[in-house]
């Protein structure tokens, strides 16, 4: 049974035209978000980069934390050590993160804190080279505007929904092109009109990048709706682990660990782990969580881990994704595939070029639609203006003023108002078109 061509066009139009502005916005911000992991160091390059090239080891953590702790104490008495990013390169400084319990909804028992201050420490002379407000960090802004529109969980879910629209649009567009081409040339590069040029760019971007469209839309849908889907399907993260807190939060914060012993335990228990980050419990769990990577593997960042008891250094949990099943592998592949987080700078450059080509599809698709329906480009410029205004809005409130996303009800209101405006405008357009069609039928009869 053949699928009606008209129905395919309807599916493609509904899934792409009315969502094209959001899809284009996600594509553009997605390209920007590729650089988020490098943004904090670039923004604080005078503090984040050091001249020496030491071989840093976990055993050096004691003196590094002492220096960072002194600087944190001078800034604020209430700061609590949360985590440490180990140097990724020989010329990188150590990043030590502190959290302010006053910012946590449940005080120091929160397990997902919003970092307040990051201190950069030169591990050669153990001197603090600088500090940064993480809420105002460029990396925080680049990820926040793409992943959740700075609208917390609802924003992330909406990003996932528009990822689903992109997937439906991709599949229906591919079927339409396959049905009409049948051996013909994909692009004729017609000249003379904006509509012809946009049509060729739209087809070229859509078909040549079809694999990447599928990758970005499938992984984007999953990542955006991940929390909802995991709850509905009763799925847990592969590396999740927890235990009942054996001590109080105050006691947990005061425990000092033997870093040489911890380094020895990591090498003995998980020799293939390249440590990248160390998390410290401050809610009574009494744990040190050493996370990192395994050379030659592709998983989410810092998923391989070993969790030790702060006091006894007993191994409480070890997660090696190489020993996991197919479901875990599939789960942990989504984020690196979406952001090109593997293969180093070569993959980053490829994802950048591909992302720019993919971005052209929703933009040119909207132009073709407006020209085909004999409308002016006013909606296109309105979309561009709204997107630009939103980017400036988030820059002012989130990056420059450093306000916490969860507290930014204004962002949520802005986004919902925009969505309602689009839905109302779309509904009116559909009703008016249906009335015109009905009127033309009556005249013909």
Find out whether 96 and 121 touch, Cβ atoms under 8 Å: yes
DSSP letter assigned to residue 272: T
Residues 6+ apart with CB under 8 A from 100: 76, 78, 79, 80, 116
Q: For residues 350 and 343, give the distance between their C-alpha atoms in angstroms, rounded to a whole number.
A: 10
Which H/E stretch holds residue 441? helix 409-444
3-state DSSP assignment of residue 129: strand
Q: For residues 129 and 48, give the distance between their C-alpha atoms in angstroms, rounded to a whole number.
A: 8
Please report the pLDDT score of residue 206 as a whole number. 85
Q: For residues 367 and 120, give the distance between their C-alpha atoms in angstroms, rounded to a whole number.
A: 48
Q: Minimal CA–CA distance to 106: which of 406, 308, 397, 398?
A: 406
* CA distances to 148, 180, 372, 380 from 193, in Å: 37, 22, 12, 17
Q: Minimal CA–CA distance to 338: which of 319, 321, 324, 358?
A: 358
Angle at Cα 140 formed by Cα 90 and Cα 112, nearest 5°? 95
Q: For residues 396 and 390, give the distance between their C-alpha atoms in angstroms, rounded to a whole number.
A: 10
Q: Minimal CA–CA distance to 129: which of 162, 157, 94?
A: 94
Find out whether 159 and 149 touch, Cβ atoms under 8 Å: yes
3-state DSSP assignment of residue 289: strand
Find out whether 304 and 292 touch, Cβ atoms under 8 Å: yes
Please report the pLDDT score of residue 107 as a whole number. 38
Find out whether 228 and 154 touch, Cβ atoms under 8 Å: no
**What are 210's two structure tokens?**
């079809």
**What are 328's two structure tokens?**
């875990």
Within its chain, how far is the Cα of 346 from the centroid? 20
Q: For residues 149 and 131, give the distance between their C-alpha atoms in angstroms, rounded to a whole number.
A: 27
| Helix, strand and coil percent figures for the chain, each rounded to 5 | 60, 10, 30
Q: Minimal CA–CA distance to 140: which of 422, 413, 409, 400?
A: 400
DSSP letter assigned to residue 311: T
pTM score, two decimals? 0.82
* CB neighbours of residue 13 within 10 Å: 14
Binned average pLDDT, 10 residues per bin, the chain of 445 residues = 70 78 87 88 88 74 83 78 86 86 48 64 87 80 83 84 92 82 61 75 85 95 94 92 91 87 92 92 92 92 94 94 93 94 90 93 84 70 72 70 51 57 63 68 61
Q: For residues 5 and 396, give the distance between their C-alpha atoms in angstroms, rounded to a whole number.
A: 47
Please report the pLDDT score of residue 133 as a whole number. 81
Pairing of strands 127-133, 117-122: antiparallel
* CB neighbours of residue 339 within 10 Å: 24
**What are 261's two structure tokens?**
């012993």
Residues 6+ apart with CB under 8 A from 424: none
Please report the pLDDT score of residue 429 as a whole number. 65
- What Rg do the C-alpha atoms of the chain give, in angstroms? 26
**What are 44's two structure tokens?**
């604080």
Phi-psi region of 243 (alpha: psi -120 to 50; beta: other; left: phi over 0): beta
Angle at Cα 217 formed by Cα 23 and Cα 13, nearest 5°? 50
Find out whether 85 and 94 touch, Cβ atoms under 8 Å: yes
């Amino acid at each position: 049974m053949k699928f009606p061509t008209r129905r395919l066009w309807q599916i493609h139009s509904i899934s792409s035209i009315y969502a094209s502005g959001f899809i284009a916005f996600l594509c553009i911000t997605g390209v920007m978000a590729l650089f988020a992991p490098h943004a904090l160091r670039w923004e604080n390059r005078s503090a984040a980069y050091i001249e020496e090239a030491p071989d840093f080891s976990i055993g050096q953590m004691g003196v590094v934390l002492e220096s960072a702790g002194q600087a944190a104490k001078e800034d604020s008495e209430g700061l609590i050590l949360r985590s440490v990013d180990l140097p990724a390169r020989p010329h990188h400084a150590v990043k030590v993160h502190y959290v302010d319990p006053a910012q946590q909804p449940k005080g120091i028992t929160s397990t997902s804190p919003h970092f307040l201050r990051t201190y950069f420490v030169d591990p050669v002379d153990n001197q603090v080279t600088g500090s940064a407000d993480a809420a105002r960090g460029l990396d925080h802004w680049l990820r926040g505007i793409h992943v959740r529109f700075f609208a917390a969980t609802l924003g992330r879910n909406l990003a996932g929904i528009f990822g689903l629209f992109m997937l439906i649009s991709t599949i229906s567009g591919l079927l339409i092109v396959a049905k009409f081409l049948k051996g013909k040339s994909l692009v004729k590069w017609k000249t003379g009109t904006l509509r012809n040029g946009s049509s060729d760019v739209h087809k070229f971007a859509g078909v040549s990048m079809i694999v990447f469209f599928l990758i970005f839309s499938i992984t984007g849908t999953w990542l955006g709706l991940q929390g909802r889907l995991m709850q509905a399907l009763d799925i847990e993260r592969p590396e999740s682990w927890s235990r009942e807190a054996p001590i109080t939060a105050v006691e947990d914060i005061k425990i000092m660990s033997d870093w040489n012993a911890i380094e020895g335990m990591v090498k003995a228990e998980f020799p293939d782990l390249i440590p990248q980050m160390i998390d410290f419990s401050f809610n009574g769990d009494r744990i040190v969580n050493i996370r990192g990577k395994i050379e030659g593997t592709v998983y989410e960042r810092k998923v391989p881990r070993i969790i030790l008891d702060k006091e006894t250094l007993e191994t409480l949990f070890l997660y090696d994704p190489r020993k996991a099943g197919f479901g875990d592998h599939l789960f942990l592949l989504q984020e690196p595939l979406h952001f090109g987080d593997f293969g180093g700078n070569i993959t980053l450059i490829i994802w950048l070029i591909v992302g720019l080509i993919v971005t052209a599809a929703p933009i040119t698709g909207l132009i073709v639609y407006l020209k085909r329906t004999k409308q002016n480009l006013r909606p296109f410029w309105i979309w561009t203006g709204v997107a630009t205004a939103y980017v400036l809005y988030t820059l002012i409130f989130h990056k420059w003023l450093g306000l916490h996303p969860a507290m930014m009800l204004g962002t949520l209101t802005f986004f919902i108002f925009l969505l309602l405006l689009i839905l109302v405008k779309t509904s009116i357009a559909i009703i008016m078109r249906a009335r015109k069609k009905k009127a033309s039928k009556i005249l013909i009869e």
